[in-house]
Amino acid sequence: MRPGIDVHDYDFKVRAAQKFISAGDKVKFTIRFKGREFEHHDIAENLMERIRETMGSTSKIEQEPKLEGRQFTMIFTPN
């Protein structure tokens, strides 16, 4: 994912992640920064919070959002 992801793309990815969770798999969300996007961590943090709220009913967080280089990652597991 990118910090400026469109609404439809976001919905598509979250629905796919929910299918994987319901099948018993783990899901890792990664937001990659390119160029000057790296200066806008607040956009990525808001996006991760939105993902957390959407996925919260079907899964639990295994790894909190973590910044590793130019990637922001979070891992979910089934309930």
Q: Which of 4, 1, 3 is nearest to 44 (CA)?
A: 3
Instruction: Give domain status of residue 2, yes or no.
Output: no
Q: Which residues pair with 50 in a beta bridge?
A: none
Where is 70: in which H helix or E strand? none
Per residue in 38-55, pLDDT (tens digit) is: 888 899 999 999 999 999
- Identify the CATH number of the domain in which residue 19 sits: 3.30.110.10
Tokens 């280089």 correspond to 69
For residue 46, the enclosing domain spans: 7-78
Reading the block at residue 26, the tokens are 């783990």
Per residue in 53-79, pLDDT (tens digit) is: 999 888 999 999 999 999 999 999 998
- What's the CA gap between 29 and 48, in Å, rounded? 8
Domain count along the chain: 1
Q: Which of 65, 61, 32 is nearest to 48 (CA)?
A: 65
Instruction: Give domain status of residue 1, yes or no.
Output: no
Instruction: Give domain status of residue 19, yes or no.
Output: yes
Q: Can you give the pTM of this predicted structure?
A: 0.87
